[in-house]
Structure 1
């Protein structure tokens, strides 16, 4: 795939002479991964022109998502985002591809996807957008966003808002930055251990760091996409268990077991999943779905490999359900109080020291409720595919909604090449 960059510009939401405004990061911003996340969205022709998309993007950022045009600042003890001034803005890249979009459909994981979005390792902007126009008129929008300013839920809200504004549809309800829910108790009460699970333990703390610090050469990892129809999920996975589990619980339980088998993890070895949990519905009272920022903490379901495999899908799903349910209002409130008591510490999230070899563990992210499938820029074309970029972290699993007529779930998996091939062969086996 030959991608030719035509031009690049920076979309600013305020004049360079505007006085900069510093906004401290919340404790949930500080625990978020310090990295860019890249996604590509493919739209069939006809798609709106670049000028239309750029105009609506600028309006979306100005009116509703100014934090995406900020820059990170402060020091490790008092990090912040800086709005306005001479820095910041969102990077906008226009590119062309001298081939037809259909040549790459259905979209599959490939290292070539990285050409369709700006570089993530040397990014100088928190939001980067690349408009890739194909010969047929089709469009792939490649986007990278820094996790410290927005979680997946917030980015889903952003994408849908941009598409609505492109079509001239008013936003209702309006995205908000209301932090009235972020209140520590008086006195603060830390009920759970957050060192090691959320932040790297300080030297004086004996807590165990839960995640792997092992590394592997990036070229050793392969990306695969496994398709699960609702028929398979309902008639094979859910029908085989006594309790009523969610699609996420049974499918993740199934995938966890299959990956553990593919990796040939020793029966007595512990395997664990890092599962991000959205706090908007967990806190009491609940936080608005339109809140923009970070509000995610992790659950860590774990099991001995032998017990996981021998126990079947029901055992795996039950472990996941029980562990995720523990990340409730009490846990989130404890974390808020932890943030209050350690707000001037140099807090390093566990993500920042995690290696790219998670074996024998996993990270499982669900994009099933992030509204990505609702993105519609108009113009006559439609969203026909979306994927994360090529990823080199062994053990990363992402659930995506299938866009086909019968629906289902696509499971994106990054694994060492030898394990990925085995997983492809056993992905639908029920043993």
Structure 2
């Protein structure tokens, strides 16, 4: 009997997800352990591994990329040796007329039909080179290269494509604000917003938005948050980064660490001196961390995700920068796994790029504290009875007063300030 391919549960509360796409083609031979398809859950997009082998059969009614699917839904089959095709099922629902091939359309496989839809190509305009005039993937690729540049679709994220369909927005007329002009979900929603006074309409809540809302409310209900602010001198930090830039101009293999990379490393050193700020509240008492893993808040299409840089004190600055860059790239490409966002004991959120000074970050439960980072601004200060220009960085530390009192939290923030003012010993590698 064929083995069914079903939608797994990626989290305890997950009831449905978003099907991102297949990683194998219809008819491919699949082995146990192969990555079969991508599924977006509450907070992450996972590449789903198969435990069985066989020949992949994708039925005509399988979900399309961007479709919402229920946990447990059957989306495909793995044919076992000796099975030529799926057994006939008398009670199987017929393929809807809207998805069936028109009489004058050439025969195509489901995967080729997806390629045709994605490229906006009419199959009736293609001479198929396969058996019996069948349109093949090579035919579609060849036709795509002849499509005028003006007809090529803009880069768009899977989520933005789905929202565009839901809101009836022609995304080919939308200007993207993502990297290299990529169209993001917020671009579609802005394009769909009424240009004048109109009745208020509720935006649909995505699984990711619901998860973010639940965690923020959990934080407010279960912690006693207090926020401290500081403005340490960051001149030496700025000068150090300029040195990295100078080296990178002659050695492109040595990328320039970001200010967030600097702070991950410095905060890791401060947490070693003040482990209480990395502890968590449990029913058995206050539990210290097993290791220093620091989360970094990243803004993506779906909202906010917090991938975790692991074992920070054991890493050099370049290793921290490489791990951080990889996690951020995966976050923006919807390739984070659930494990990438687990195990953190402290979080850093940086809004400095938006011109923000101090703010009140919300603790990421079950962690004890979070550091908000504002902009670096050049200001006049008194030094040796003279007014000089110095770079200052705005910091906001929110901590759980159930675990940490004000004085220990202030000492921790003071340590971070001291490390920022004299970063050399910690950021030289």
TM-score interval (norm. to shorter):
0.3 to 0.5
Structure number, greater radius of gyration: 2
Structure with the largest fraction of helix: 2
TM-score, normalisation: structure 2: 0.33
Higher relative contact order (CA 8 A, sep 6+): 1
TM-score, normalisation: structure 1: 0.33
